Amino acid sequence: MPYAALPAGTIHYRDLGTGRPLVFLHGLLQDGRVWNEVVDRLAGEFRCLVPDLPLGAHRTAMRPDADLSVTGVAGLVTDLFEVLDLRDVTLVGNDTGGAVAQIVAAQRPARLGSLVLISCEAFDNVPPPVFRALPPAARLGLLPALLWPLRFRAPRSLATGYGRLTRGPLPHDLIDDWIAAYRSDPGIRRDTRRFVTSLGDRHVLTRLAEPLAAFPDPALVLWAADDELFPVDHARRLGRLLPAARVEIVEDSRTWVMLDQPDRTAAAIRRFLA
């Protein structure tokens, strides 16, 4: 897997296809493989880049002094654009990756050509209510204990695990890898603690409303009709906030739209870019 040496540390990424660049951002305690099915459908037409962000399932710890707040991770994404000399990027974010994508669009949009937000944190829903215990646990050093049950498959299906992310069966093989990565290195646990602690600022996205409303490029807001974490009303609010936005609701899906409905997700992105 290729990697990029950034000021904050090393980021591994997948790079498939050629053409206009699409960069896909994933959520907390996940890696880029959550996008595999959509990337497989789009890589014949676009260059698909999928970084493993330092959100708990990455394989290489970042530098001890790196800013790994949610805003710092957004800066890391734009550093990746610069190192890889990416321009006219379509930035695609889901779950926590959608929060990162909004910060990039609001604060450092120069290398973007368009934005795709797929069932993600927005406004003051940071993090969703069922996960509100995570930031204080991280601040108190209790995050490893809180995440310990996720080693086992049964607790993952609970609302406090991965259970509300998909209508289908959980991708346990992937989750096994993600939890093993978190447990493998104290530096990775340190990175995760810093990021999760920053999510205690519930208004980090609300403060970006004005600059996000000035985002000049096209945006697609693609939302799961059955999402239990991210209200469908937020899709409509984002559609009103972003000046050149299109809103689409995907039936029979929860947050992981790209897993529940990969064909529809790929087709919606393809139509949008056309």
pLDDT digit string, tens, across residues 59-84: 999 999 999 999 999 999 999 999 99
Is the Cβ–Cβ distance between 140 and 22 less than 8 Å? no
Distance CA 36, CA 239 (A): 27
The predicted pLDDT at position 79 comes to 98
The predicted pLDDT at position 243 comes to 96
Mean pLDDT score, 232-238: 98
Distance CA 30, CA 55 (A): 7
Mean pLDDT score, 126-141: 97
The predicted pLDDT at position 96 comes to 98
Among the listed residues 176, 182, 193, the one whose alpha carbon sits nearest the alpha carbon of residue 142 = 193
The predicted pLDDT at position 201 comes to 95
Distance CA 215, CA 226 (A): 28
Mean pLDDT score, 23-36: 98
pLDDT digit string, tens, across residues 238-274: 999 999 999 999 999 999 999 999 999 999 999 999 9
pLDDT band at 57 (very low <50, low <70, confident <90, very high): very high
The predicted pLDDT at position 227 comes to 98
DSSP string, the chain: --EEEETTEEEEEEEE--SSEEEEE--TT--GGGGHHHHHHHTTTSEEEEE--SSSS-SSPPPTT---SHHHHHHHHHHHHHHTT--SEEEEEEEHHHHHHHHHHHH--TTEEEEEEEEE--TT-SS-GGGTTHHHHHHTT-HHHHHGGGGSHHHHTSTTTTTTS-SS---HHHHHHHHHHHHH-HHHHHHHHHHHHHTT-TTTTGGGHHHHHT--S-EEEEEETT-SSS-HHHHHHHHHHSTTEEEEEESS--S-HHHHSHHHHHHHHHHHH-
All domains of the chain in start order, with CATH: 3-273 (3.40.50.1820)
- Percent of the chain's residues with pLDDT above 70: 100
Strand 9-16 and strand 3-6: pairing? antiparallel
Among the listed residues 214, 220, 227, 228, the one whose alpha carbon sits nearest the alpha carbon of residue 248 = 220
Distance CA 142, CA 81 (A): 34
pLDDT digit string, tens, across residues 71-127: 999 999 999 999 999 999 999 999 999 999 999 999 999 999 999 999 999 999 999
Mean pLDDT score, 219-231: 98
Phi-psi region of 69 (alpha: psi -120 to 50; beta: other; left: phi over 0): beta
pLDDT band at 217 (very low <50, low <70, confident <90, very high): very high
pLDDT digit string, tens, across residues 188-209: 999 999 999 999 999 999 999 9
| pTM over 0.95, yes/no | yes
Strand 112-120 and strand 9-16: pairing? unpaired
pLDDT digit string, tens, across residues 152-176: 999 999 999 999 999 999 999 999 9
Is the Cβ–Cβ distance between 254 and 260 less than 8 Å? yes
